[in-house]
Amino acid sequence: MFHTRPSSRSPELPIEWEGYGPHPGDGVERYGILTQYLVQDMPDGYFTSRIVVAVAESGDMFVAGATDDGYYSSLVIGPHGPGGERIEGQLFSRTFDINGVLCQWRRERITDLQPDSVDYFFWECYAAVPVDAPAYPEPMHSPRYRAEMDRRRRVSSNAAKHERRARSEATIERFDPVEVYERDAWICGICEEQVDPQVLHPDAMSPSLDHVVPLSKGGDHTRANSVLAHLICNVRKSAN
Ligand SMILES: [Zn+2]
C-alpha cells in the first residue's frame, strides 16, 4: 500500500504537493476495501492529456483528470461502472457492492513522508469506502510515515528519560536505542546471548539500553557509552 514515488519529470524536486497522487501501482486499503490506481494517456485533442483511474475490487471505477506527470488535476470526471460505462449525475452518491459491503467513492487524504525522511506531506486519492465508514475518518499514514514517527518518539522519550538520571555535567546524545541494538547485532553486552527483538518491555528478556559507565557514576548517555542488554541483565548489573 502507498507506494507513491517522486515525479520522474522533476527528480530534483521529489515533492507531491497536497492534493496530488497517487501513482500507477499504488494501492489504498480503507476499512478492508482495496482500491488500486491506473494512469491512462488520452489521445491528442482530448480535453485532458491523462487520467487517473481508481479501480475498486468490484471493477467500479472513479476517473479524474491528471497532469502529464500522472498526478491528479482539478478535473473530476466521476464514477464509471465495471464495464467502463460512465455513470451520469452521481459523483459521490454512487454506491456499489464489494463482497457484500455497500461502498461509495470518497476523497481520502494520506500523510506520507518525503524520501528524505524529514518532511511530511499529504496526498489525496479517490478511494472506495463502506458507506457507513466514519464521516471524519482516522487519518491514513503511510508505513514510511508511521515508522519515522515511531522512531522520533523513541528518540525523544529515550533522551528525556536518561537526561533526568544523568549527572548534570554528563553528555546527552539524542538517538534511537534501536540504532544501538542493531549495531550490537541483537547480542546482549552483558550475558552475550541473543536478544529477541519481538520480546517487549517489561518482559525480563526484552531489549534495554545499558550504560557501560552508569549514569549514576557520571557516565554519558551516548551511543559510545551504550550497549544492548536484556532488561534482566541490566537490572542485575545495576543492583550489584
Ligand atoms: Zn543478557
149-204 pLDDT, tens digit each: 888 888 888 888 888 888 888 898 889 999 999 999 999 999 999 999 989 888 99
Contact 80, 60 (CB under 8 A): yes
Least confident of 9-13, 57-61, 75-79: 9-13
State the burial class of residue 39 (Cβ atoms within 10 Å of its Cβ: 0-12, 13-18, 19+).
middle
Interval between CA 169 and ligand 1 midpoint (Å): 29
Interval between CA 231 and ligand 1 midpoint (Å): 7
Q: In whole angstroms, what is the distance from residue 64 CA to residue 229 CA?
A: 54
Tell me how far the alpha carbon of residue 33 is from its chain's centroid: 18
Whole-structure pTM value: 0.57
The CATH 1.10.30 domain(s) of the chain lie at 166-239
166-239 folds as: DNA Binding (I), subunit A (1.10.30)
Please state the length of the chain. Answer: 240
- Residue % of the chain over a pLDDT of 90: 35
Q: Which residues contact 20 (CB under 8 A, 6 or more apart)?
A: 67, 71, 72, 123, 124
Interval between CA 72 and ligand 1 midpoint (Å): 53
pLDDT over threshold 50, residue 125: yes
Higher pLDDT, 37 or 121: 37
pLDDT digits (tens, 9 = 90+) for 14-35: 334 434 567 777 788 888 888 9
Interval between CA 149 and ligand 1 midpoint (Å): 29
Terminal-to-terminal C-alpha distance of the chain: 49
Q: In whole angstroms, what is the distance from residue 131 CA to residue 144 CA?
A: 28
Interval between CA 210 and ligand 1 midpoint (Å): 10
Tell me how far the alpha carbon of residue 81 is from its chain's centroid: 31
Contact 111, 139 (CB under 8 A): yes
